Amino acid sequence: MKKQWIRIISFIMMICMISMVSIGCGRSNQDSGKKVTINILNYKRETVDILQKMIDKFEKENPNIHIQMDSPSDAMTILKTRLVKENPPDIAILGGERSYADFVDADTIVDISDYKGLDKVKDVYKDMAKQLELSKKKGTYCVPYAANAAGVLYNRDMFKKYGWKIPETWDEFISLCKQIKSDGETPFYFMLKDSWTGITPWNALAANLTSTTIYDEVNQGKDSFSNHYGEPAKKLKELLKYGQKDPFAYSYNDGTTAFSKGDSAMLLTGNFAIPQIRSTNSDINLGAFTLPVLNDASKTKLVSGIDVMFSVMKADHKKECLKFIDFMLQDENVATYMKQSSSVSCIKGKFPVPVDLKEMEKYFNNNRVVDFPDHHYPADLPAGDMIQGYLMNNDMQTFLNKFDTEWKKSNRNLIRKLQK
Amino acid sequence: MATIKKKIKNKGNIAVWGRTLLLILLALTIVFPLYMTVIIAFKQPTEMTNDVSGALALPRHFSFQNFIQAIQTTDFFHTIGNSLFITIVTLIVVVIFHSMAAYAIGRKMNKHKSFNFLYLYFISGMFVPFSMLMLPLVKETSIIGIDNKLGLIILYTVFFFPMNLLLYTGYLKNIPLALEEAAYVDGATTWTTFWKVIFPLLKPMHATVIVLTALSVWNDVMTPLVILSGGSGKDTTLPLAQLLFQTQFGTNYNLAFASYLLALVPILILYLFAQKQIINGVVNGSVK
Amino acid sequence: MKKVKLGKTYKLFVLPILICFFAFNTFPLINAVVYSLTDSRGFGDFNWVGFQNYFDMFKDSRILNSYLFTFKFAITATIIVNVISICLAVLLNSKIKGKSFFRGLYFLPNILGGLVVGYVFNFFFTFILPSFGKLIGNEFLSTSLLSNESTAWFAIIICTAWQAIAFNTIIYISGLQTIPGDVYEAAAIDGAGPWQKFWHISFPLIAPFFTINMVLCMKNFLMAFDQIVAMTGGGPNSSTESISYLIYKTGLSGSQFGYQCANSVIYFIVIVLISVFQMKFLNKREVQL
């Protein structure tokens, strides 16, 4: 009896092994003649139509290159599965966040430091991309293209009606909130049911009140977040006073809907929320300004990150990939892209800032921008949840300790590597 | 005697109506979410509001615009074809192979240690978190070259086996052994006994298995998402295409709900057919 | 128990599924166990770290909290769902008007996708219930149940139960179908009341289906994932993170694949132990007809 089962099981195992070995690694790209096919994986679904038009134009100019773009939902998971399959796209259109850093760290992105077009990219965004990397590697792994910004979205009509002024300093901002309240309106809608929305104002506060080297220093064991995150936490708590009655009940969807219907004068979020807000009220007259975190207006920086960047993930057709990126970097195309997607350019040159972000223009033009701190947070660090919990329970010490503990846990492999 | 019977009948009638009334009241908890789904599917995004009375109000115009747009966005007729193909083939494979295996295991697990072990082995497979199997499976299917519809069918056959094994073996306990023994006495082999006697008797359970498996396969997003690696391939299933209504930060609920309502129809039809089988099971007629 | 020879046909019946099952369930499982000994992100290069992941896991308060939540959630949901669905199944199986209609209707919650259910219930808890609370002047109900760490889990249970009851009811109905009508007739002649009929006849006879439902509930609730995504995304303050959700969020969306594989392995062992125990216990109470 027993023997028979052993025989059956070993038979099954054999089948598995044979099938894996015999069929394994039998996948190659079919290069049909001279025509090269470039596969692009685009994480930003909102831009599909714009990009597709530009791709069509590119294909017309370069008849021997065919570009096939996928813009799936949950693109990061898909990119991971494609890396597991050892079938990455030629170009990945990514956001400048921690997952990019992981891809660089796992040696999955091709070095393009010899690419001439990099000179066209604003230095501040190139530095930003470098800062993201976990262990600063030699080489360049992305071409930053478009930037986003976070701050305060406001209802222009309401501001006009009551004669409110756009604040330049923290004190002005707080007195504006008080003013709005006494005029019988709600300053903000918090959307803290979705914990990630709490990170947006946190980003502005933490970015202005801490230095960008803090992540590396904590990883090297030289510093801790407890030493620096008290101040932003205190200020965030202060803002909560000016939210609606039940700030933890509303989701992102509910909050943007409320703001679009004029239920609140402002919303603490980024330009990425504008399409969602417009979808529930296309007529809303909105603007955006920088969250004035400091009382010295000249020192406040705008939180802006890389929204779209190109990374070459497969060396097979590097030349053709760079040709496409080159095409995207041409002034005329940059202008089209930025205009149609309402984003801010990472490319040098006179490209107008979108109308909605007019009040932020001087920050962009003077390079007074700083990256979102959460772009440095690992995806598995529950930063949003911790901020949500802190605002709910008002226990700063627990929050600070927890932040350090969780950070060390999420980065434990890196920390072990660095501190060896 | 006759009056007593009548009395019982009258009393029975009141009970029937009482129970029906109770069910109607309970049904409100189901009708309400359904009502919301339907009105949202007909509304325009600009009609979405946080105001309770506004949200529950009927849409301003009843037009099928959302449904038409949902059909276009998801490439409905192509993707539903894929979904139908995958679901139907899976169901056929599942009913044949799962009932076969479950019969063997269910009848023999009490007498043979090896089958008892197999039973526990399969059932425990139910408790492996899928997230953990996902990446190894992606690699495996891609190496074997079945990161396509075929692979999905095989994977579903594997994933739903523990549940179906449980269902079939549970049902088999209520089918008396006497029937099979009679067949053996008549000289039938195990093979013919199964197909001629047991398989038809399992009909109500087949129907249950079909409904439950179909439902899970039909609505599944995660498996095709990772196995097919993307939303634009020719094998795309309907739920995968429905992900297109969700962007990084927001969801177009109006289109999504319209699309969900469309996707609900085939399953509902299947259920209505299967329900008859579940209810008018042969067991009541033949096993006594 | 007489030792009978196991016929060849029986083995053949099991073989195809056994091969597939091993190849696509056990084999990747073994892979994942191997990954649990590495610092892999799931892709790219990785290092061997031995049992470090397992040691770290036991110190991780987030994982501990997710275990506590998952068990609290699963046990409560299992009880609620089974009690209601037995009642509903008996009701739907009794003499009523429009039987097929109701059976169809009560099955509907199961068909609606997670996005729909999530949206509707979120709206219910965020807007409808609080405005009802304000109307009747109840302080507790005037705020969203989902925004409170101590009540959010119960709100998820309501939504989960609403959806799961349909599934379990069907199984109970199909169980009730297997009871021959003459058993009831005999009982009626003996003068058994409806409660006695249920408790002494129906219940023992549907015991196998009770077992099925218990195990399925365990599977659905201990593996709770869709419900969490649809309702809270693990919040507020990580209070509703189920284990499956945590594994997905930090292991797959995040970069702790190896670490969460270790978590999965431990969790797998825990559940298998529970379910083996449960089945042994429940099987004893079944009656063979």
A222-253 pLDDT, tens per residue? 999 999 999 999 999 999 999 998 899 888 98
Burial class (CB in 10 A: 0-12, 13-18, 19+), B25: exposed
Cβ–Cβ contact A109 with C under 8 A: no
The pair of three-digit structure tokens given for residue C92, joined into one six-digit string: 């739907």
Q: In terms of domains, do B239 and B99 share one? A: yes
Highest mean pLDDT, choosing among A58-67, B108-117, C199-208, C223-232: A58-67
Q: Examine the domain organization and report whether B28 and B125 are in the same domain.
A: no
- In chain B, residues with a C-beta closer than 8 Å to the C-beta of C257 are 135
Residue with the larger pLDDT of the pair A17 and A112: A112
Q: What is the pLDDT of residues B69-80, one digit of tens each?
A: 999 988 899 999
Name the amino acid, one letter, at C240.
T
Provide the whole-model pTM: 0.87
In a domain, B62, yes or no: no
Taking the Cβ of residue A261 and every Cβ of chain C, the question of whether any pair is shorter than 8 Å is answered with no
Residues C133 and C142 sit within 8 Å (Cβ to Cβ): yes
* pLDDT surpassing 60 at residue A18: no
Please tell me whether residues B226 and B171 are part of one structural domain: yes
Query: Does position C101 have pLDDT exceeding 90, yes or no?
Result: no
pLDDT score of B222: 86
pLDDT tier for residue A369 given thresholds of 50, 70 and 90:
very high
- Please answer yes or no on whether C9 and B189 come within 8 Å at the CB atom: yes
CA-only gyration radius of chain B, Å:
24
Residues of A with CB under 8 A from a CB of B: 1, 5, 19-20, 23-27, 41, 43-46, 70-74, 77-78, 80-82, 84-87, 252-254, 256-258, 261, 263, 272-273, 275-276, 279-282
CA-based nearest residue in chain A for residue C233 = A194
> Is the same domain home to B43 and B72?
no
Q: Quick: pLDDT tens for A376-413.
A: 898 888 999 999 999 999 899 999 999 999 999 888 88
Q: What is the pLDDT of residue A21?
A: 42
A212 pLDDT above the threshold of 90: no
* Helices and strands, counts by H and E, chain A: 18, 10
CATH, domain range C36-288: 1.10.3720.10
pLDDT band with cut points at 50, 70 and 90 for residue C93: confident
The reported pLDDT for the residue numbered C5 is 65
CB contact under 8 A, C251 and B97: no
Do B85 and B131 share a structural domain?
A: yes
* pLDDT reported for residue A9: 56
What is the per-residue pLDDT across C119-168, written as a single tens digit (0 to 9) for each?
889 889 988 898 888 888 888 888 888 888 889 999 999 999 999 998 88
Non-local (6+) Cβ contacts of C141 within 8 A are C129, C130, C132, C133
> Is B212 found in the same domain as B92?
yes
Question: In whole angstroms, what is the distance from residue C115 CA to residue A195 CA?
Answer: 18
Q: What is the mean pLDDT of chain B?
A: 85
Among B34, B56, B78, the domain-final residue is: B56
How far apart (Å, rounded) are the C-alpha atoms in residues C228 and A224? 32
Query: Does B200 fall in a domain?
Result: yes
Tell me how many domains chain B contains: 2
Partners of A268 in beta bridges: A152
Q: Which range of residues forms the domain containing residue B252?
A: 68-285
- Taking CA–CA distances from A307, the nearest residue in chain B reads B248
Distances (CA, A) of C78 to C112, C125, C213, C216: 21, 22, 9, 9
Which residues 187-226 of chain A have a CB within 8 Å of chain C? 192-195
**Judgement on whether residues B46 and B115 belong to the same structural domain of the protein:** no
What CATH number did the domain enclosing B135 receive? 1.10.3720.10
- For residue range B86-96, list pLDDT tens digits in order: 999 999 999 99
Q: Which of B97, B191, B279 sits opposite C177 (nearest CB)?
A: B279
Is residue B76 a part of any domain in this protein? yes
Please state the rounded mean pLDDT for residues B265-287. 68
The pLDDT assigned to C261 comes to: 93
Q: Is the pLDDT of residue A75 over 90?
A: no
Going C17 to C23 to C28 to C30, the CA torsion angle's sign is positive
| Angle between helical axes of B65-73 and B253-279 (0-180°, round to 10) | 90
Percent of chain A topping pLDDT 90: 62
Per residue in C269-284, pLDDT tens? 998 888 778 777 766 6
Return the HEC string of A168-231.
CCHHHHHHHHHHHHHCCCEEECCCCCCHHHHHHHHHHHHHHHCCCCHHHHHHCCCCCHHHCCHH
Q: Which residues of chain B neighbour C87 with C-beta distances below 8 Å?
A: none
Looking at residue A232, what is its pLDDT? 94
- Residue B63 belongs to a domain: no
Q: Which chains does A contact via 3+ CB–CB distances below 8 A? A: B, C
What percentage of residues in chain C have a pLDDT greater than 70? 95
d(CA C121, CA C109): 12
Q: In this structure, how many other beta carbons lie within 10 angstroms of the beta carbon of residue C17?
A: 25
Test B16 with C288 for CB contact under 8 angstroms. no
Q: List the single best residue of B10, B132, B279 to mutate versus C (max C Cβ within 10 A).
A: B132
- Region of poorest pLDDT, from B33-47, B79-93, B149-163: B33-47
* pLDDT mean across residues, chain A: 88
